[in-house]
Amino acid sequence: MNTLPSSIENYLREAGFSGTELMVLKKLLAEDAMTLREIAAKTGKSTGVLDQAVKKLLRRNIVTKEWINDTFKYTLVSLQAIASWMEKDTQEKSEMLRRRHQNFETFIRSLETDQKRPDMEYFEGYEGMEKAYVRLLDHTKETLHYFPVVCAIEDDPMRDFRVQYFRERRSRGVFARYVVHNTPLGRRFVSRDPFEYRKTYLVPEDTYPIPFEKVIAGDIVACFNHAEKRVCFLRYPELAETERSLFERLWKEQENAVALPSPTSPTSKPAVPAEPLVPLSTRALSTLREFFVSRRSLVMFAVFAVVAGAITYGLYAHYYRLNLQIIGERAMSIASTGAMQFEAKDLDQLRTVSDIHKPEYAKVVKQLNDIRERNSQVRFAWIMRYTGSGNTWEFVADADSLDPFAKKDLDGNGIVDDADHLSPPGEKYEDDHATMTLALKEPVADGFPTIDQWGTFISGEAPIFNAEGKAVAVLGIDYELDSLRALNRETFRSVFIFIGFFLLFVVIRLAAFNKSLFQELWQVFKLRKVLVTVVFCAEIAFSITLGLYYYTLSIMKEDLGNKLMAIAATAASQFDPNDLKQLHFARDMKTEAYQRTFKKLNEIRDNNENIFSVYILRYMNEDRLFQVVADADANFDLPYWIDDNANGKMDMLEVVWAPGMYYVDTAEKNYLSTLSAPAADKDFVFDVWGTWISGFAPIKKGDQVVGILGVDFEATHVYQAVKSRFQLGLWLIGIFGILLGTRLTRRG
């Protein structure tokens, strides 16, 4: 048999089976084991409706849930299970009718023939008990419970209902007070008070027997027999008042036992509070729980996630553009500094492929490789000459092309092919970008990455001038974007920023939630809600803006330090160690060695915008003690002091740095004394001359450090750069202003 006879089906309907439950029974009779989705597909019902029906059949032990083929399937226990349930149901109904009849007879015998007789109401089964709980909420703002805790919450057959009941009770503002036995289960019950919008006291089990749950709500005394799934309502104002008085006396005794106040008279009647005093922790945590279990919150969290993700992506794109600009400026600085070491007469000798055998070619290629070796992120260094025709250029030299006919795997794919072609002098190159043409006038950098067969780069170009000041070629530096990815990771932690904005919007959501945690706190501290909202939003906006400002400032200091280090590293190779060894006294400024050094220092400063000072120091083998070798502001035909403060007097600190003067390094970290590779300050350095951030590079003769080239950048320019780039803070303040206005509008 794989179906139900109509007579049996009608009998089951009369016994309380719904049409959906009968439909499930029919399908399980026909199909044996089925998943919920399979039943839905067969019946055309939604899984939500079927889930409720299957749960009822599971509770009746008619259907069982089994793990079959890696999924849960429902099967019919047996037809005998239906018969057993029907027999049990018939017995329960008979017993219920018998007891109801007995109760009715008892009530009739005790009922007085007046208008104040009590009213009784009964509920049966889990559905009846759920209805009874909800009915109690219509009669009071506080319920009083004697409750026997006989099982853990996870084993409670009404667990799902109790979650919905808590939400309904919390939304109506109905607080609950419980008296339970002092047992392990009772203590566990108490631990959940802050989340359930209730308060509980524990009483000794042997002193206060609680055989069933009794609830006092308004003028109703309700008795819940969970074992038999029965509820009885007795609407009797005098009885309810007596029960409430006894409960309040017991409650007061427990409060006195905890607080140990002065004893009260045992004959005094406990005062009944007009409004329940709900603890702050209970209001706060139960509000949070009610908020997070609601479907509306899930939707709002999804919206928050989308908004936070959009803002995070916008921030990422913003910082990506900033970092792209920073790397472009770094490449441009290397190119402008490196261009000074090439002589136009050497480049003029390199026109054709045969010129690769000339010593000038080897010299130029060596200089290009020196630039690349001193800057680890530089992938390619090259020189091109404009042909004067359209967009056509020609190669002069390339750092990889000392022997253009050699085989090199330039793109790193493990295969030497046409993409690894080495360009000899005179080879033509078509350039569609306007950047190269602009580079004939001044140093420039690409605004966007260049993607070709050799990789992804940002290029910086600078003109190489002849003695007459005419640009004869362009030095190009290709900077690998691996550093951009690392810089993005350092300057922007996307996950943390996403979480930060997500939590921020959650906080804002809580602030706008009806009867939320923030409203409760405001009521407790008796503050004006609008004022607290303004202060709260202002503090968040200020904190985030200030944090972003200092974060941007730290990134700018690091980036400028790296830029100064690149300038120093590129320029250090231009100085002749033999010239530096001749400079020890002020009179040495008249020597040709000093003039060559002085000229190079000023060229470095002139070719890099906002560089304040360029100088060379010599370590004196004593802690933090250095000697001045040369300075871009010190020459024999220049004033030996500069009235920086315009006071008309020569102060000690206004004397220019002449060779032989001593300098004591006051930086917190003393790394100059052991400098063997390019380095830069990680933070501002404060000395008697001001506040700076500097980059340094050693000038070597073989392995010996004969001098240290320093490049100073004044802190004022750093703050100006941060201010110009820190536009995002203003946007954040604007966003918070909109949120605040929305909040105040809703309140109004």
**Domains contained in the chain, number:** 4
**Are 522 and 283 a contacting pair, CB within 8 Å?**
no
Is residue 566 pLDDT above 80, yes or no? yes
User: 524 lies in a domain?
Assistant: no
Pair 399, 368: CB distance under 8 Å: yes
- The model's confidence at residue 453, banded by pLDDT at 50, 70 and 90, is low
Place of tokens 């905890």: 258
Q: Which of 197, 231, 262 is where one domain is finished?
A: 262
pTM greater than the 0.85 cutoff: no
The CATH number of the domain holding residue 76 is 1.10.10.10
Contacts of residue 323, defined as CB under 8 A and 6 or more positions apart, other chains included, come to 484, 487, 488, 491
Q: Which pair of structure tokens corresponds to residue 163?
A: 């979650």
Query: What is the per-residue pLDDT across 312-341, written as a single tens digit (0 to 9) for each?
Result: 677 777 777 777 777 888 888 888 888 888
Query: Does residue 65 share a domain with residue 126?
Result: no
> Sorting pLDDT into bands at 50, 70 and 90, what band is 738?
low
For residue 111, how many other CB atoms are within 10 A of its CB?
A: 10
Do 79 and 134 fall within a single domain? Answer: no
Which residue, 231, 669, 309, is CA-closest to 498?
309
Domain membership flag for residue 567:
no
Identify whether residues 249 and 340 lie together within a single domain. no
196 is a domain residue? yes
Say yes or no: 257 and 323 in one domain: no
Contact indicator for 455, 355 with CB cutoff of 8 Å:
no
Closest CA to 43 of 57, 58, 28, 59: 28
pLDDT in tens, 395-409: 999 888 877 766 665
Rounded to whole angstroms, the Cα distance separating 287 from 308 reads 24
- CATH for 631: 3.30.450.20
Q: What is the rounded distance in angstroms from the CA atom of residue 243 to the CA atom of residue 209?
A: 15
Say how far residue 271 (Cα) sits from the centre of its chain.
52
- Reported in sequence order, the residue ranges of 174-332 that DSSP labels E, i.e. its strands, are 175-181, 198-203, 213-217, 220-225, 230-235
Residue 678 lies in a domain: yes
CA distances from 415 to 9, 407, 408, 410, 509 (A): 79, 10, 9, 9, 58
Residue 63's domain comprises 6-85
Q: In this predicted structure, which of 32-46, 154-168, 409-423, 579-593 has the lowest mean pLDDT?
A: 409-423
Sign of CA dihedral 328, 333, 336, 337: negative
| Domain assignment present for 447 | yes
476 close to 382: Cβ distance less than 8 angstroms: yes
E strand or H helix that includes residue 89: helix 79-110
* The predicted structure's pLDDT at residue 517: 47
| 169-217 pLDDT tens trace | 888 889 999 999 999 898 888 888 877 888 999 999 888 888 899 999 9
Is the sign of the CA dihedral 599, 601, 602, 603 positive or negative?
positive
Residues 343 and 442 in one domain: yes
CB 122 within 8 A of CB 98: no
Identify the domain boundary among 262, 281, 305: 262
Q: What's the pLDDT tens digit per position in 60-105? A: 888 888 888 778 888 877 777 777 777 777 787 788 878 878 877 7
d(CA 633, CA 640): 9
Residues in Cβ contact with 304 at an 8 Å cutoff, skipping those fewer than 6 apart: 502, 505, 506, 509
Residue 730, CA distances (Å) to 386, 724, 742 in order: 45, 12, 18
* 211/155 same-domain check: yes
For 218-259, what is each residue's pLDDT tens digit?
Answer: 999 999 999 899 999 999 888 899 999 999 999 998 888 776
Mean pLDDT is lowest, of 196-210, 385-399, 563-577, 714-728, for 714-728
80 and 121 together in one domain: no
Residues 49 and 185 placed together within one structural domain of the fold? no
User: Which neighbouring-strand residues pair with 697?
Assistant: 709
Whole-angstrom distance, CA of residue 300 vs CA of residue 585: 74
Q: What is the pLDDT of residues 468-482, one digit of tens each?
A: 888 889 998 888 776
- The rounded radius of gyration (Å) of the Cα atoms in the chain is 43
Looking at every residue in the chain, the average pLDDT score rounds to: 77
pLDDT of residue 225: 92
Residue 150 has pLDDT above 60, yes or no: yes
End-of-domain residue from the set 66, 85, 104 = 85
3-state secondary structure 596-622: HHHHHHHHHHHCCCCEEEEEEEEEEEE
| Residue 46 shares a structural domain with residue 141 | no
Per-residue confidence band for 261, with pLDDT thresholds at 50, 70 and 90:
very low
The bridge status of strand 175-181 relative to strand 198-203 is parallel
pLDDT band at 19 (very low <50, low <70, confident <90, very high): confident
CATH number of the domain to which 255 belongs? 3.30.870.10
Task: Name the band, by pLDDT with cuts 50, 70 and 90, for residue 145.
Answer: very high
Same domain membership, residue 687 and residue 607: yes
What pLDDT does residue 414 have? 61
Do residues 323 and 234 share a domain?
no
SS (H, E, C) 578-598: HHHCCCCCHHHHHCHHHHHHH
Say which range, 219-233, 341-355, 673-687, has the weakest mean pLDDT: 673-687
- Predicted confidence at residue 747, as pLDDT, reads 47
Q: 632 and 588 in one domain? A: yes
Phi, psi of 20 (to 5 degrees): -65, -40
The answer to whether the CB of 628 falls within 8 A of the CB of 584 is no
